[in-house]
Structures are given as C-alpha cells and as structure tokens.
Amino acid sequence: MFEFGTMIILFVLGYTFIALEHPIKIDKAATALLTGSILWAFFALNAGSILNLGFSPMWIELPAGASATHFIVEQLEEHLVEIAEILFFLLGAMTIVEIVDQHEGFKVITDRIQTQSQVNLLWITGLLAFFLSAVLDNLTTTIVMIALLRKLIDDKKVRWFFASMVVLAANAGGAWSPIGDVTTIMLWIGGQITTLNIIKMVFLPSLVTLVVPLCLLSFKLKGEVGRPAIHPTEGDITNRFERRLVFSLGLAALLFVPVFKTVTHLPPFVGMLFGLGTLWVITEIIHRKKPHEHKKKLVVSHILKRVDTPTILFFLGILSAVAALQSAGHLFLLSGWLDKHIGNIFGINLAIGFLSSIVDNVPLVAGAMGMYQTVTPDMIAAMADPAKAAYLHHFMTDGAFWEFLAYCAGTGGSMLIIGSAAGVAAMGMEKIDFIWYLKRISFLALLGYLAGAGVYYLQIRMVG
C-alpha cells in the first residue's frame, strides 16, 4: 500500500511544479516528461506490490500466470498508441495554423473589422473568437485575436477586458467542436463523443456561457476605442491572392478532418496529416519562383521551426503520467469514490469544471476517461438492476456524462486566468494581472459557466 500511495505523491509533486512553472522558472513540459517517466519507472520497479492490491481492473482480467512486467509493457504500449494519435493530430493542426499565420492569412478576417464602438467591438470579437475557436483551437484563437486587438485598441486596460472576453469565448467555442479544444479532441478520438452530436448538444450551453458575460459587461463598457497609430512596415512577402488562398485551404483542411474520419473510419490524425500534406505541396508550388529571401520564410520546412514543440511534449508527459495512474488502479478507485460520495454525473462534471480553473483540464479529462469506461448497449442489456442500467446509459458513446464533461472541462477553466491554455497565453501576451482578472472577470465567468450548465441540464430533461 505504501508504493501505491507513493505514486499519488509523485504525481501531485510533479503537478505542483507544473502549476508553479513561472515562479520556479522551469518549463512545464520538462516537469511533465519527468513526471510521466518517473511514474512508469516506479510502477515497473514495484509492480508486484502495487498490482497485488487488486485495484487495477485490467490486471484482474489477465490470464493466470501472466507476469507483472508483461502487463506493464502491454499497458505502456497500448497507452502509447492512444497518446500518439492525439500528438500527431495536434502537430498537424498547429502546423497548418502556423502556415496560415506566416502567410498573413488571418488578415482576411482582421481587415474587415471597422467599428470603434466598445460594445459593438466586444460582441464582434467575442463571437468571432467563439466560432474561430471551433475550427482552430482555443489557444491559437486567443493568440490570433489578441494580435488583432492590438491593432484595434490602444488603451491597455480596455484591451484587458476584450482579451479576457476572448479567453471566455475561445474556451466556450472549443467545447462544442470536436477539433476546438484538446480535451474535446481527446474525447472525440477516444470514441466517447461523435461530431454531430457534440455540436447539437453542447453548442447552445457554450453560447450561453459566452453571452451571459458579454451582456453584463456591455453595461460597463461605454464610448469608443482609441486605435493605435499605424507605423509603416516593410513590403509584404505575400500578395492578396496568396493570403486568401492559404487561409481558405487551411480552413478547408481543418474542416475536412471530421468528414475524413466519417467516410474512412480511420483515426482523425490521418485526415489532419492529409490536409497538412496537401497544403504543404500547394505552398511549395506557389512559392517556387519567389526570391530566396522571401521563399525561405514561407516554406513549411521553415515554418515547422515555429511550431510550439514544448506544448506537444507537455501533453506527452502529462498523458503518460495519467496513463500510469490508470493502469495501476488509482483512477478506478477515484471513480468509485466519486460515485459513492457524489453519485450524480452532473455533480461530478461540475466539480471537474471547477477543478479545471485551478489545474490543467487535459489531465482532468484524461483521468475521467481512465476512470469511466465507455459503455456498450450489450453491457447495459446484461444489467439486472434497472436503476444501474439507467445510470450506465450516461456513459455510452454520446452519453450525457461525456457531453457534459466536454462542456465543463472546456469552459470551467475561464474562471481563473491560469485555468486554461488560452488564459495563460493572454496573461503572457498582455501581462494581465491575476488579481485584476479575479476581481473583474472571474465572477462573470462563473455566472456564464453555471448558466450554460443549467441550459445543458434543461436540454437533457427535454430531449432525454
């Protein structure tokens, strides 16, 4: 039992260092990789004493005579396949976005915003971030939108309000799209949700999560925004046609992924790599006659250097750490505790949403995926207890538990500036003060989160 508890201590210690990334000045990717590696090594070295406790349901199902080492290697290889699918998907998506950005494709959007009214601009940028996040992801959308806000708003404190609403909008927009947030991607790739159903069931709650804070903040903001002075820049290295072409192709590549998965039934990362390969070939063709000093900035081999590799490695580390706890049986015990003391899928997910404002939502969702098995109709039919069968129905593919988990984990992080990748990005880019956000935005985010949760609950009661 000592070794079993030590794994929890090691995970909490590693997570503490991740949360304190900025004060201790150690990149969270490094800590995550160490945490994942140490947990698996400790698990392997103490396999006998940990597995003999019988908390791992997978160990119990092994044939008689199977060795602990064989079990751990099999589990590690199985988790590695699942993690690799997520990482290749993210790598492809992030590269496509970088290609569009390097070609100044996002100017197609930013050049069309002309209003200077604070309220009008608040709604335009909020709704734009909401829908853009569903196609890209909340982190990329936040980066793009803050770059836009810097061209539209000169006053720093006013821009903080808009940047904060972008964080709320980006997180809400990512929750209802299968490719809009890493956690939703994880659920989609894992088979817990499907494309059309997550859009149908989570779109309205996510929209309400944004609209409630926007309405309340509209009463506070008055007048017009002052635009920053425009400074002359060097000549563009892309023309209008190239910007529009690359933007359209990048958007089409991202939107094509769910279609590709539906038609071929292959993992989504294959569709994402197909889109990346297509965009790569086309950009090579259109730039082949350009001067070398321009071409080298636009080719994908150069753009790949700009992809946020530490983020990819962070996900690798944290997902492997959670996988170790899953195989050892920790998440099985936690699911039992939640069922016993909360026993309600809405309460469990609301708690996960609140936790995601303090800790990263990736390990929380990974933990939930490890704690709760996706139930099949045959498993429900075999249940003798009707009440138990009704409860398990929530854990089927497109069940209420998975849908509400996508909503809560995606939007709950908005309650604190450090609660999401989008919030951390905004905090870093605009130097938003933690206390300022806590005083002026957190309560608005909380009201939106609870309002959206209420809408989802009403939907379930109405449509079943």
pLDDT in tens, 379-417: 777 777 777 777 777 888 888 899 999 999 899 989 988
Q: Choose the weakest-confidence range: 41-50, 290-299, 438-447.
A: 290-299
Asked if residue 226 has pLDDT above 80, the reply is no
What pLDDT shows up at residue 402?
92
Least trusted range by pLDDT, from 191-195, 273-277, 376-380: 376-380
Spell out the domain ranges in the chain: 86-226+234-306
pLDDT score of 308 = 78
Mutual orientation of helices 309-328 and 68-102 as an angle, nearest 10°?
A: 160
Mean pLDDT for 421-430 is 78
pLDDT of the residue at 75: 86
- For residue 233, name the pLDDT band (cuts at 50, 70, 90): very low
Over the chain, what is the mean pLDDT?
84
Q: Would you say residue 84 has pLDDT above 70?
A: yes
- For the four alpha carbons of 55, 58, 61 and 67, in that order, the dihedral sign comes to negative
What does the pLDDT read at residue 359? Answer: 66
User: With pLDDT > 90 as the criterion, what percentage of the chain qualifies?
Assistant: 24
Backbone φ and ψ for 224, nearest 5 degrees, come out as: -115, 160
Instruction: Please name which of 214, 227, 106 lies closest in space to residue 161, comparing C-alpha atoms.
Output: 214
Q: Which residue has the higher pLDDT, 59 or 253?
A: 253
For 155-169, what is each residue's pLDDT tens digit? 888 899 999 999 999
- pLDDT, tens only, 235-246: 467 788 888 899
Is residue 297 a contact partner of residue 102, using CB atoms and an 8 Å limit? Answer: yes
pLDDT at site 234:
45
pLDDT recorded at residue 386: 77
Q: Which residues contact 222 (CB under 8 A, 6 or more apart)?
A: 118, 119
Strand, helix or coil at 287?
coil
d(CA 106, CA 189): 28
pLDDT higher than 90, residue 300: no
Residues 170-174: what's their mean pLDDT?
Answer: 93
pLDDT band at 232 (very low <50, low <70, confident <90, very high): very low
Neighbours of 29 (CB within 10 A): 21
Give the type of residue at 110. Answer: T
Residue 119 has pLDDT above 70, yes or no: yes
Q: What is this structure's pTM? A: 0.74
The residue that leads in pLDDT, 224 or 324, is: 324
339-347 LR contacts (CB < 8 Å, sep 24+): 345/394, 345/400, 345/401, 345/404, 346/404, 346/453, 346/457
- The tens digit of pLDDT for each residue in 327-364 reads 888 777 776 677 677 768 888 889 888 888 876 677 67
Tell me the torsion sign for CA atoms 386, 391, 396, 400. positive
For residues 171-193, average pLDDT? 87
CA distances from 137 to 31, 93, 398, 452 (A): 24, 9, 21, 20
Band of residue 5 on the pLDDT scale cut at 50, 70, 90: confident
pLDDT (tens digit per residue) in 21-61: 778 888 888 998 999 999 999 988 888 787 777 666 666 55
Least reliable range by pLDDT among 92-96, 106-110, 256-260: 106-110
